[in-house]
Amino acid sequence: MKTTLPILLLLGCLTAAVLAQSPAPTRTITFVSVGDSVASGEGNPDIPAVVRPNLDYNPVQHLPNPKYDPRKKTPNSDYHPFETLPNANYDPFEWVINPHYQPFPVPAALLNVLPGFPPYDPNLTIKNPTYDPRMVVPNPDFDPNPLVENPNYDPNLWSVELNVNYLTNLYLVEEAATWAEKKDHRSNLAGPALAAAELKARYPNADLAFVHLAKSGAKTDDPAEPDYSVINQIQKAKTHPIVKDAGRIDILTISVGGNDVHPDGFGGLITACGESIRTGVLPSEDAELNADVQEGLAELPDKLDRLADAIGSAHVGQVFITEYFDPTRDSEGFFCLGETEWAYDQIVVPLNAALKSAALRHGWHYVGGIAERFRTHGHCAAHLPDPRKVILNPHYDPLERLPNPDYNPIQRLPNPKYNPIKDVPNFKYNPVKDKPNLNYNPFETIPNPNYNPIEQIPNPNYNPLENIPNPAYQPFPWRPKYDKRLTIPNPDYDPNLLIPNPAYDGRLTLPNPKYSPELTVPNPAYNPALTLPNPDYDPELTLPNPDYDPDLTIPNPDFEFGPVVGDNWVVRFEESIVIQGDWDGTAHPNAQGHAIYRDRLVEEINRFVDFWPAPRIAQITASESTVRLLIENQYPVERIEIQRTPVVSDPEWVAVDCNPIVLENGLCEATVTRTGASIEFFRLLVK
């Protein structure tokens, strides 16, 4: 019995060693990518398109319109700048001398002697039947609109007829781009696909399987078009053969939300911005556009919660949701176009905030830092030499005729001497036909010699036509200094018609040699002509342009066709046709941009997912008091836990108190004290 015990122990140890050395099946780590065009790889196809410059390219869609007239309105020949005209019957005196006035009654005895004597009337003055407090009366010819519609006006320099030589494509596609899935614009060079390839290279012993389901144009949830729904992509992932065999999704990466900020998706948002600008309204001031964006952002949290429910119904390990990039900056990190600051503040920032909030709510990993890395590599970042065979012709001018700097569209100018009042008050007027005897004056008050009933007089600088020609005339009117006031204050104005008469005497009057029945006298400055001929008038809008060149482009001697490169990480409009053969890649990450998504995903996945193969016992040797274990391991030794049990059926595993050490050959060695059991089994765990 003394000899059999070591043999039994050794057999037990050798059995454990043999079992440990048998290659245990390694579990597949599944990596699934879902989302929109950012995750699908839009802007970075597997193989770029093959294109050549279109030598027939003509960017002028319309020909010059020979009927073009830059004035939307022409002068109104019936225009009269004054709403009211002078009142020919104007009388400023409410009371007049009573022609029947006599200060005492005539005795009845004298009535027969003087039958023509008027009846007694003690009133010196009576109500003036011709009194009118209005100096002016409504002008039936008044027209407040100095301009009328011009039937020949065309708001465009180009006619509505197309130019038969017009061709929109600067490039001709000879061979379209190659995609992993063309209809979805799904690329093997998308950020998540690159991240999966990087992880496989780092951990060659890991059985990593990548499933790429992202699709260009996908929204979070779109019941009307389920094929463009990220929630639907989750359902497809659950039934994918790789996922079904593995039984779970270990890594799930998501890019979502960009197509939810507008009813027609991200492409619809770009189109809406373009339409807004074409109608003369900035996107930041377009109420309908901003309402659509705000509504989309407001609905996004609920959609992301529904996405979380779909993920929860699957067997998913770690979820990584990526931040959206910032395309709005130049090489210095400044906003590069007029509306990019609005796009950043109202779209990029709140969109990423909604994604980060959803990640916190649902325990996802938010892959941030992407927008910051794009900050100096946006859409307007510095461009390297133009890859096109043709370059812009600096002498190109699409107008064969230039604006005539002497052109004045108003043939007649306002007359600066114009005075709309034909008659002015007669300051020598004396309304008392019979002058008082000696100091007699029938009025307690007399006319104020400074009285002027017109508080405001015509403004000689007034121009009734608000839009007058600019000496450097362009077809877009600019206003010179314009005085909108028809009248200016009258410095001689005195609102008091009468002043106290110190010579007033209530006695009878004598004939007044200065009496004049004319209230007004002719106005020497009166001119019935509102306008005079304009000496600067030139009926020719345009003159021949000596620099006219009908060719937009000229051959580029430095042309060497190759991939589009530059400091930008965002595909530009002119680059999209070169990369993809269409315009769809515009404003998406290019190869450099998707490399940023790759790097950030790898950084975050490495933090939360283990890719090393499971450690295993390579050899067991035993003595009477100890058992020596040699372990193959790629984990830090402090994460290794050794457990043992004396029985196979219904085992109770107990942790061994030991500190493995790393040998020079890379293996780990652990020496364990024996418990005295005849047979023991050992296993390894990773903390």
CATH code of the domain containing 598: 3.40.50.1110
Q: How confident is the model at residue 14, as a pLDDT?
A: 33
Instruction: Establish if 456 belongs to a structural domain.
Output: no
Query: Range of 630's domain?
Result: 4-24+616-686
Cβ atoms of residues 640 and 610 within 8 Å:
no
Same domain, 672 and 650: yes
Ranges under pLDDT 70 in the chain: 1-26, 59-60, 64, 103-104, 106-119, 156-159, 383-392, 398-399, 403, 407-414, 418-444, 446-447, 451-488, 497, 503-520, 530, 552-553, 556-565
Pick the last residue of a domain from 110, 130, 150. 130
61, amino acid identity = Q
Pick the last residue of a domain from 580, 608, 636. 608
* CA 101 from centroid of its chain's CA atoms: 82
Q: How confident is the model at residue 468, as a pLDDT?
A: 43
Same domain, 203 and 343: yes
Locate tokens 């002119």: which residue? Answer: 574
Q: How much is the pTM? A: 0.55
Cβ atoms of residues 44 and 192 within 8 Å:
no
Q: Residue 182, SS3? A: helix
Q: How confident is the model at residue 24, as a pLDDT?
A: 38
CB-count exposure of residue 571 (10 Å: 0-12, 13-18, 19+): buried
Q: How confident is the model at residue 40, as a pLDDT?
A: 98
Each residue's pLDDT tens digit, 288-320: 999 999 999 999 999 999 999 999 988 899 999
Q: Residue 86, SS3? A: strand
Each residue's pLDDT tens digit, 78-117: 877 777 777 777 777 787 777 777 766 766 666 666 656 6
Same domain, 180 and 280: yes
SS3 content of the chain, % helix, strand, coil (to 5): 25, 25, 50
How many domains is the chain partitioned into structurally?
Answer: 3
Residue 297 token pair: 């952002």
Pick the last residue of a domain from 608, 634, 664. 608
- The strand pairing partners of 214, in sequence order, are none
* CA 61 from centroid of its chain's CA atoms: 26
Same domain, 574 and 626: no
d(CA 258, CA 343): 12
